[in-house]
Amino acid sequence: MKPMIDRIGGEDKVHDLVDHFYDLIETLPQGRAIMEMHLKGHGLSHVRPAQFEFLCGFFGGRRYYHERHGHMNLREIHAHVEIRQQDAEDWLAVMDRAMRETSVAENERGEIMATFRRAALMLVNTA
């Protein structure tokens, strides 16, 4: 089977997805807490490029994030922020919307969201 990155449309689709996701994060009420996390963490300037780099590798393409940082450990990446269950749910809802609105096919979206759900819930570290 082809890597997910090829199934969804390559790096161009990942760029579109990341840009739309963060456009939604910056404008939707569901994105407020996530924006605040980024502002408390490393700031906003790195967010879109880092997410693109991470997702390319996550989807089976070039591992830009790993090349730059030497790992793709989600817990380590997010260790500096408190993540509540609601934050994870909000992230998942906004990402699902971004995938729908950038025309990620339903089958691929379902597979991706199942994996994202496991990852997001694993990152919850505060009540």
Read off the pLDDT of residues 96-105 as tens digits, 9 standing for 90 and up. 999 999 999 9
The CB-side HSE value for 21 (13 A sphere, CA atoms) comes to 22
Token pair 């496991």: residue: 118
Indicate the pLDDT class of residue 26, thresholds 50, 70 and 90.
Answer: very high
pLDDT exceeds cutoff 90 at 36: no
Q: What are phi and psi of 18, to 5 degrees?
A: -65, -45
H or E, element range at 13: helix 10-27
